[in-house]
């Protein structure tokens, strides 16, 4: 024990990781785990205030004229040398008689450079318009402004770039913004801070989350699904925190697409300078005429799908320094015979762990969830994909969907396993549907198995446990040993990868001051323990 602790402290100080205190205790690491389960009692004073920003709020109003750019955002390509710039020009339309704008009438141009003046480089991209159509009497249709996506290439790593976007031929260019590229991929090269958040929406809680997130000055934002919650509204703008409860007789699940525009305007101050990477959630399905779905999601964001050899915006990958991020789709086919699974196999096999040690996966609904809300809902996906992720040594998994915070011990197949990833749920960004507060392991809270089925996830696989302390039962009768920490509060997380071995994870609650954290742990990679069970793509873990 003394040698282990001595070695641990040698590692900590050798990479200059500052060890701070939480309530006078040293920050724990996964070397200290598995941890005894902790549940923070629910603070009843936090309930409420899950109220959407109205369309009269100045933060969501259109403040440009003509075809000047708005809703400007930056997203990453596969590597540091390329980013996407996206924006919208022109006004959306809502009504029974809409006439889509012609995307060919406004150019998609970005001027950029390493100095504000002059902006020496120029790139052009493509544009599109999407519609949200409902073939039912009394429902209003929507057509978007012109959405522009331009890819910048040939960029330097860890470099500040300035840019303007728009159409210079009609004097419709934006102000000058800036972004910083990701560091070059390498075992000692990482972004300083990566913000992780889920289930944002656009409520007053959301504004608190984004304010606190901005104060942490992230280099990258990861949004793990459920973006605008436009589908909590009917096409006339009437909203509810429970659509099915309030509008049970609607012929189709309507949406109010202007909520997407409001969200884009509110977020611009952050994501016009900090890249954001998004994966779809269930609130992005938004079925419309012709059974089309995910149209707003697929149109409004730029994804490095083609660059990462994916055929879909629903799953893709990218690098941020020595981290390889895998973004997976829970609402498209994930079976072993599907395109997504075959792509995932190829993608994992091509990661050189000597150069990119960290593997981080993200998708919307969690596999490991002890709350009643969405309990075992993603079990089919887990049964199809967990073994593959485990076999390649995925280190961390981020999810949303459950409107609360939860961090697991290292786990695989519901069993504590030092080679399994740490699963972290951050579905507490501030959405209108409020927090999840009930736990499935509490008396009378265990849901009926049939109630856990979600048709959008492609199947029903939730069964009783076959082994362990809960064998023969659908729920544990106490907080499961794989659940290390859980709390029902709104907030966001920050991931700080220090080197090829250590990463600091911090979860910030909205109700706390900026200097206080809700949960914090060092996640420590120990690939040498798992060489017998983990595949070695391209380069041996022993070399990393």
Q: What is the CATH number of the domain that holds 74?
A: 3.60.21.10
Residue 194, SS3 per DSSP: strand
Residue 107 counted as domain residue: yes
Length of the chain, in residues: 544
Q: Are 472 and 465 in contact (CB under 8 A)?
A: yes
Cα angle for residues 38, 392, 344 (degrees, 5° grid): 105
Does the active-site annotation cover 403?
no
Residue 40 within a domain:
no
Laid out side by side, the sheet with 93-95 consists of: 93-95, 141-143, 131-132
Of 378, 280, 275, the closest CA to residue 318 belongs to: 275
Residue numbers of the domain that contains 240: 67-530
Q: How many CA atoms lie within 13 A of 375 on its CB side?
A: 23
Q: Are 365 and 380 in contact (CB under 8 A)?
A: no
42-71 residue pLDDT tens: 988 875 557 999 999 999 999 999 999 999
Give φ, ψ of 325 to 5 degrees. Answer: -95, 130
Give the per-residue pLDDT at 310.
97
Residues facing 398 on adjacent strands: 362, 424
Tell me: the pLDDT tens digits for 376-435? 999 999 999 999 999 999 999 999 999 999 999 999 999 999 999 999 999 999 999 989
Say how many domains are in the chain: 1
pTM above 0.85, yes or no: yes
Q: Would residue 518 count as lying in a domain?
A: yes
Please give the DSSP secondary-structure letter assigned to residue 50: -
Residue 200 lies in a domain: yes
| Residue 34 covered by a domain | no
Whether 285 contacts 294, CB under 8 Å? yes
User: How far is C-alpha 47 from the chain's CA centre?
Assistant: 24
Alpha-carbon torsion angle 530, 531, 533, 539, nearest 10: 120
CA of residue 290 relative to chain centroid, distance = 28
Least confident of 14-28, 309-323, 337-351, 434-448: 14-28
Separation of alpha carbons 44 and 149, rounded Å: 44
Lookup: tokens for 3: 């040698």
Q: Determine the pLDDT at residue 458.
A: 83
The token duo for 33 is 């785990």
Spatial CA neighbour of 374 closest among 409, 403, 352, 411: 403
Q: How confident is the model at residue 530 (pLDDT cuts 50, 70, 90)?
A: confident
Interhelix angle 339-349/379-391, nearest 10 degrees: 20
Output the six-digit token pair for 100: 């889509």
Q: What is the pLDDT of residue 9?
A: 37
Residues near 118 by beta carbon (within 8 Å), at least 6 away in sequence: none
Residue 135 lies in a domain: yes
Question: What's the pLDDT score for residue 496?
Answer: 98
pLDDT digits over 501-511, tens only? 999 999 999 98
Query: Strands (DSSP E) along 35-189, which ranges?
Result: 38-39, 70-76, 83-89, 93-95, 109-113, 121-124, 126-128, 131-132, 141-143, 146-152, 160-167, 172-173, 177-180
pLDDT in tens, 121-176: 999 999 999 999 999 999 999 999 999 999 999 999 999 999 999 999 999 999 99
In whole angstroms, give the CA distance from residue 277 to residue 221: 6
Task: Name the burial class of residue 516, with classes exposed (0-12), middle (13-18) and buried (19+) by CB atoms within 10 angstroms of its CB.
Answer: exposed
- Residue 260 inside a domain? The answer is yes
Q: Are strands 405-408 and 422-426 parallel, antiparallel or unpaired?
A: antiparallel
Q: Are 253 and 136 in contact (CB under 8 A)?
A: no
Options 148, 374, 401, 403, the catalytic residue: 374
Mean of pLDDT over the chain: 92
pLDDT tens digits, residue range 190-201? 999 999 999 999
Exposure class string for 503-513: b at 16+ Cβ within 10 A, else e = bbbbbbbbeee
Number of Cβ within a 10 Å radius of residue 440:
21
Within 10 Å of residue 323's Cβ, how many Cβ atoms? 25
Count of helices and strands (H, E) across the chain: 7, 30
Instruction: Count CB-CB contacts under 10 A for residue 18.
Output: 9
pLDDT at 184: 97
On whether residue 219 sits in a domain, the answer given is yes
pLDDT digits (tens, 9 = 90+) for 275-301: 999 999 999 999 999 999 999 999 999
């Amino acid at each position: 024990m003394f040698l282990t602790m001595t070695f641990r402290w040698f590692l900590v100080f050798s990479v200059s990781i500052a060890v701070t205190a939480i309530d006078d205790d040293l920050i724990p690491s996964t070397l200290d785990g598995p941890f005894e389960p902790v549940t923070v009692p629910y603070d009843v004073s936090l309930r409420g205030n899950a109220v959407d920003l109205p369309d009269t709020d100045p933060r969501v109003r259109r403040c440009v004229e003509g075809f000047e750019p708005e809703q400007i955002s930056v997203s990453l390509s596969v590597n540091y040398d390329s980013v996407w710039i996206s924006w919208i020009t022109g006004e959306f339309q809502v009504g029974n008689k809409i006439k889509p704008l012609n995307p060919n009438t406004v150019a998609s141009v970005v001027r950029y450079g390493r100095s504000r003046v002059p902006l020496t480089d120029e790139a052009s991209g493509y544009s599109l318009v999407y519609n949200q159509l409902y073939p039912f009497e009394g429902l209003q249709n929507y057509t978007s402004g012109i959405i522009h996506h331009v890819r910048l290439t040939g960029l330097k790593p860890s470099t500040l770039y300035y840019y303007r976007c728009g159409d210079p031929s009609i004097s419709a260019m934006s102000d000058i913004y800036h972004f910083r590229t990701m560091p070059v991929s390498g075992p000692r090269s990482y972004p300083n801070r990566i913000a992780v958040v889920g289930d944002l929406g656009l409520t007053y809680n959301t504004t608190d989350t984004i304010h606190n997130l901005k104060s942490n000055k992230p280099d990258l934002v990861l949004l793990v699904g459920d973006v605008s919650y436009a589908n909590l509204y009917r096409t006339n703008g009437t909203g509810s925190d429970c659509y099915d409860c309030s509008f049970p007789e609607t012929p189709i699940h309507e949406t109010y697409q202007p909520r997407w525009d409001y969200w884009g305007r509110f977020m611009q101050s952050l994501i016009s300078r900090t890249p954001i990477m998004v994966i779809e959630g269930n609130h992005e399905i938004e079925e419309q005429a012709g059974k089309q779905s995910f149209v707003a999601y697929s149109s409004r964001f730029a994804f490095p799908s083609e660059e990462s050899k994916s055929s879909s915006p629903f799953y893709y990958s990218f690098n941020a320094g020595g981290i390889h991020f895998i973004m997976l789709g829970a609402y498209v086919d994930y079976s072993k015979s599907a395109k997504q699974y075959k792509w995932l196999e190829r993608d994992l096999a091509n990661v050189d762990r000597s150069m990119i040690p960290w593997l981080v996966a993200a998708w919307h609904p969690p596999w490991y969830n002890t709350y009643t809300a969405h309990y075992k809902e993603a079990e089919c996906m887990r049964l199809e994909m967990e073994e593959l992720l485990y076999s390649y040594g995925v280190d961390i998994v981020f999810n949303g969907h459950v409107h609360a915070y939860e961090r697991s011990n290292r786990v695989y197949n519901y069993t504590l396993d030092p080679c399994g990833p740490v699963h972290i749920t951050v579905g507490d960004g501030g959405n209108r549907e409020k927090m999840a507060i009930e736990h499935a392991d509490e008396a009378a809270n265990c849901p009926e198995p049939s109630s856990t089925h979600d048709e959008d996830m492609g199947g029903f696989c939730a069964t009783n446990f076959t082994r362990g302390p809960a064998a023969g039962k659908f729920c544990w009768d106490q907080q499961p040993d794989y659940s290390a920490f859980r709390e029902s509060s709104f907030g966001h997380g920050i991931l700080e990868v220090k080197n090829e071995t250590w990463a600091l994870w911090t979860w910030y609650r909205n109700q706390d001051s900026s200097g206080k954290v809700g949960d914090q742990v060092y996640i420590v990679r120990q690939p040498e323990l798992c060489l017998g069970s983990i595949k070695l793509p391209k380069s041996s873990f022993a070399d990393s």
